[in-house]
Amino acid sequence: MTATPIHQESPRIVIESVAPEIDCGRFPIKRTLGEDVVVEADIFADGHDVLSAVLLYRHLDETGWRETPLEELVNDRWRGRFTVDRLGRYVYTLRAWVDPFATWRRDLAKKVEAGVEVDVDLRVGAALVADALKCASGRRKTALRALATTLAGGTVKDRRASGDSATQAPRIGAALERRIEAALDPALADLMAEHPDLGRATTYPRELEVVVDPVRARFGAWYEFFPRSCVEDDPRQEHATLNACHSRLEYVADMGFDVVYLPPIHPIGQSHRKGPNNTTGVAADDPGSPWAIGSAVGGHDAVDPRLGTLADVRAFIGRAEELGLQVALDLAYQCSPDHPWVTEHPDWFRRRPDGTVQYAENPPKKYEDIYPIDFDTSDREGLWRELARIVFFWIDQGVRIFRVDNPHTKPFAFWKWLIGTVKAEHPDIIFLAEAFTRPKVMYRLAKLGFTQSYTYFTWRNTKWELTEYFTELTRTQVAEFFRPNLWPNTPDILSAYLQTGERPAFVIRLILAATLGANYGVYGPAFELLEHEPREPGSEEYRNSEKYQVRRWDLRHPDSLRPVITLVNRCRRENRALQSDRGLRFHGVDNDRLICFSKRAPDEENVVIVVVNLDPYQTQSGWVDLDLDALSLDPDAPFQVHDLLSGAHYLWQGPHNFVELDPHTLPAHLFRVKRHVRTEKDFSYYV
């Protein structure tokens, strides 16, 4: 019989089921500056020895590991955490080892409690402490030597100097109680834990990564508008300039938004230019679609002359920053037939058998004014480097956020390379993926580096749909790498819910987007002015879509949702619970037309409860069923809820509380919870 080799170095300790860990460590998790990374793992060994474990972490720029202890939970599950305090990338892993001293100390305590003779055990402990002298110095060495002497009941030599095990003197006059007290003193355990023997420690074989983004990646309210339509103050003007949009920036800032997103601002091609409502017959003054990028004037690194110059772009960004806004620029890798690349790099475009270039299609839609880029070109390196140059060009102009058009139609490998290349130099850059596509594709793009993503929120209307979808986004592993950005509308999408629900539908979707998600956005002024007419029945396209024509918006219209939006954005800024997705919890309601959920700020008392009537037509009422444990509320004590939307105050107690919401007045409650109740007179002003 052939003997199987005996591997004496096989580790005793098992480290497995590490979380968070995405696809066996292939992809990083995401955090924003100042957030914690909480790591858990199953850690165990054969036998009954006590284990110790630490979480190791470092920024990629650091050479040495930092460490923090892991605490044991239940059933061999351990947990530790560290805070990310720099942009860029961190790595983390785990290390565990059998701890002879902790094992000895645990067993000694049991024997003492049982009244067993422990003299020999104390001498064993003295030898363990003496071993620790080898790597001790200064005050620690002095303290350990004294404690070893006490445990042994005599004098202990430095083993490094003598080579002896532990020389022990007679126990003449030694008090057993004093030796036991010294052995079980937490101060001794702390000293011994400072420099453990890691000769047989087990380290998790993978170094897992964390991408750390700016806080704006976690929390922000976006507002999209077409700069060419900022013509409301000048009836003679047919096409606005960027300089004319500074007043629009003030309008957006006054509503409490954080990010202004502009559709492409580049020259628009003449060939096959589209007219109003995507028609092919155009007049001489039709501006065309901003996504048909490129003309004889220039391409992706140029500005449409009707909007202004690069200097005007920089001035626009500067004014936005003065108002507390960041500017997001559309990154659309596609060309009009007139783009300089079409003639300079014809091999970057796919040709049909008749020699013409393949234009964009999404049957039955045709986009003859747009040529997709062929990423299968033989000049892959030249193409990729030029596309990266475009991003760096706009970064140099002051752009820090890019909304990427249809990234799912470009290769995964390209995005991994591009985003990695950009963020290696500029870790503060944010990429939002406009990828309305299949879930696995959306998640893959997030894993490859996209900071945020559009979502299916636009089409999730019922309580079941919203609960299932946002539980997936916030309570599963998806939350570690996918940051949702919720949009009730976009220039491409006018949902059926908004088409038919009138004003209440817009308010409902606003409040849901702004509270379910820490990141949300609206396409305005279409949203606040309740634009709801489709191009034709069954279509999600707007009639008189701003994608193809300049629109004049009456920003002073009395029915505008501007006051409601301003209030909602103020609530978001004043409540940290609404500035993260991780604290989301759903609660029961006995009416399917009502949805209830809460958010709680990490390590804070700030808790909000949101109740929304999903029916834009009729009043709905019901009893909410709160998970009081999730809210840290005492079931026997009353608590206050202050509706931040209406200003009303209510006194609630226990899990079951009644709500009634009329969508035509205000279709939602946005409660801030106040736990401390003093006297009955405190509630004399409550509604």
25's CB contacts (< 8 A; 6+ apart) are 206, 207, 208, 209
Nearest to 179 by CA among 136, 140, 131, 146: 146
**Three-state DSSP class for residue 149:** helix
Of 20, 28, 85, residue with least CA distance to 59: 85
DSSP at 275: B
- Residue appearing with tokens 């069923």: 625
* Dihedral, 285, 287, 288, 293 alpha carbons, nearest 10: 130
Q: CB under 8 Å to 242, separation ≥6 — which residues?
A: 227, 265, 303, 307, 308, 312, 313, 315, 316
The Cα diameter of the chain in Å comes to 110
Burial class (CB in 10 A: 0-12, 13-18, 19+), 344: exposed
Write the CA distances from 632 to 330, 571, 584, 598, 658, integer angstroms: 43, 22, 14, 12, 20
Handedness of CA 326, 263, 525, 564 (dihedral sign): negative
Prior bond of 20 cis (ω within 30°): yes
For residue 348, give the nearest of 301, 390, 384, 299 by alpha carbon.
384
Instruction: State the catalytic residues.
Output: 405, 434
Radius of gyration of the chain (CA): 32
Distance CA 44, CA 533 (A): 62
C-alpha angle with apex 219: 568 to 413, nearest 5 degrees? 135
* CA distances from residue 173 to 23, 256, 408, 548 in whole angstroms, order as listed: 63, 77, 81, 98
In sign, the C-alpha dihedral spanning 663, 664, 668, 671 is negative
Segments of 225-354 assigned E as strands: 259-262, 326-331, 334-335
What is the C-alpha separation between 327 and 307, in angstroms, rounded? Answer: 16
DSSP conformation class of 74 = S
* 3-state SS assignment for residue 343: helix
**For residue 660, how many other CB atoms are within 10 A of its CB?**
13
Taking alpha carbons only, the member of 586, 326, 304 closest to residue 432 is 326
Structure tokens given for 347? 């091999």
Amino acid at 5: P
Write the DSSP string, 313-331: HHHHHHHHHHTT-EEEEEE
What is the Cα–Cα distance from 423 to 430, expressed in whole angstroms? 9
Contact 437, 354 (CB under 8 A): no
Distance CA 525, CA 226 (A): 9
